[in-house]
């Protein structure tokens, strides 16, 4: 595995691959890699000749009240994992490489509506930070495709919209959420949970699943389902931020045109913010249909 920390070095190495006609898949990460990230890498390996992984803890997507300094940095362990997976190229730039003129005057990429709802309303500016850094990384790496986890479903939807709206010639591939045996979605943040909080964590996925089952059985009072789910989370010890039943394409309210429903939740457990989602494809003939996990 070759590791680069500057754009010039990385781009010269990638030019060599391209000249040989090899296709490039890109997996952007913030490090602290777990099985969920490695699953993205494996998907990327199936789809392209060369896999580039980036590790960059992006300050632009952290709010003033979010502890950027406390974000786990585990570069040595991450490198070992990527090496074992057979990754070809690791790109690990410093903040100065990505934001050479600082962040205050950085041109920003913004996806309105999709970026303003759900996590976007609780974390103002977060998705602008994500889309800005992802655009920069896409321009630096110029991959044929890029792989993102469905666990961050809103992020995946926003990146897809950005790529479409800005005519970026990159295919975006979503990969199903990897879960622990008790259903908890793999996340770098799970490491912050103490044993008591970890024991409560599965309630989020259970609550999402119960809601999905109720909708699949024909229950269509979504406001009641949302408020019941928030109550269940609260009773378990979460501080719910949102529990929302939305159109999976627009992330807005479900309408007669909705083909797939996304049920999304975000809640605090102590100081840790957990998010998760499940989806339900609607059968156009019978209205209610097949179950799809997120």
Question: With respect to ligand PAF, which residue has the nearer C-beta, 33 or 262?
Answer: 33
Taking the complex as a whole, the smallest distance from the CB of residue 132 to ligand PAF amounts, in Å, to 9
Binding window for ligand PAF (CB under 6 A); candidates: 27-35, 73-81, 112-120, 274-282: 27-35
Binding window for ligand PAF (CB under 6 A); candidates: 128-136, 224-232, 267-275, 283-291: 128-136
Cα dihedral 86→91→92→96 (10° resolution): 180
Note whether 130 binds ligand PAF by CB under 6 A: yes
* Conformation bin of residue 276: beta by default, left when phi > 0, alpha when psi is -120 to 50: beta
Taking the complex as a whole, the smallest distance from the CB of residue 129 to ligand PAF amounts, in Å, to 8
Note whether 93 binds ligand PAF by CB under 6 A: no
Note whether 92 binds ligand PAF by CB under 6 A: no
Taking the complex as a whole, the smallest distance from the CB of residue 10 to ligand PAF amounts, in Å, to 16
Note whether 29 binds ligand PAF by CB under 6 A: yes
Note whether 28 binds ligand PAF by CB under 6 A: yes
Note whether 58 binds ligand PAF by CB under 6 A: yes
Note whether 133 binds ligand PAF by CB under 6 A: yes
Note whether 157 binds ligand PAF by CB under 6 A: no
Active site annotation includes 205 = no
List all residues 6 or more positions away from 223 whose beta carbon is below 8 Å from its beta carbon. none
* Residues that are catalytic: 37
Chain contacts with ligand PAF (rule: CB under 6 A): 28-30, 58, 61, 130, 133-134, 152, 155
């Amino acid at each position: 595995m070759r590791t680069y920390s500057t754009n010039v070095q990385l781009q010269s190495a990638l030019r060599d691959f391209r000249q040989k006609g090899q296709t490039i898949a890109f997996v952007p990460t913030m490090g602290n890699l777990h099985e969920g990230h490695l699953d993205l890498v494996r998907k990327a390996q199936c789809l392209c000749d060369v896999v580039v992984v980036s590790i960059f803890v992006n300050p632009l997507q952290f709010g003033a009240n979010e502890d950027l300094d406390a974000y786990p940095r585990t570069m040595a362990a991450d490198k070992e994992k990527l090496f074992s997976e057979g990754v070809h190229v690791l790109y690990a730039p410093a903040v100065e490489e990505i934001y050479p003129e600082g962040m205050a005057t950085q041109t920003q990429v913004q996806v309105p509506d999709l970026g303003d709802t759900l996590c976007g309303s609780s974390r103002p500016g977060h998705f602008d930070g994500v889309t800005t850094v992802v655009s920069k990384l896409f321009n630096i790496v110029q991959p044929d495709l890029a792989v993102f986890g469905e666990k961050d479903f809103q992020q995946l939807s926003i990146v897809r919209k950005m790529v479409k709206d800005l005519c970026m010639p990159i295919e975006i591939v979503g990969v199903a959420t990897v879960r622990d045996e008790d259903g908890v979605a793999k996340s770098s943040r799970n490491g912050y949970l103490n044993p008591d909080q970890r024991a409560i964590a599965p309630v989020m996925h259970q609550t999402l699943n119960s809601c999905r089952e109720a909708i699949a059985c024909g229950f269509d009072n979504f406001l009641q389902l949302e408020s019941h789910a928030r109550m269940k989370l609260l009773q378990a010890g979460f501080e719910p931020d949102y529990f929302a039943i939305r159109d999976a394409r627009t992330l807005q309210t479900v309408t007669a045109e909705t083909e797939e429903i996304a049920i999304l939740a975000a809640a605090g457990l102590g100081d840790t913010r957990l998010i998760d989602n499940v989806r339900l494809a609607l059968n156009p003939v019978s209205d209610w249909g097949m179950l799809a996990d997120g």
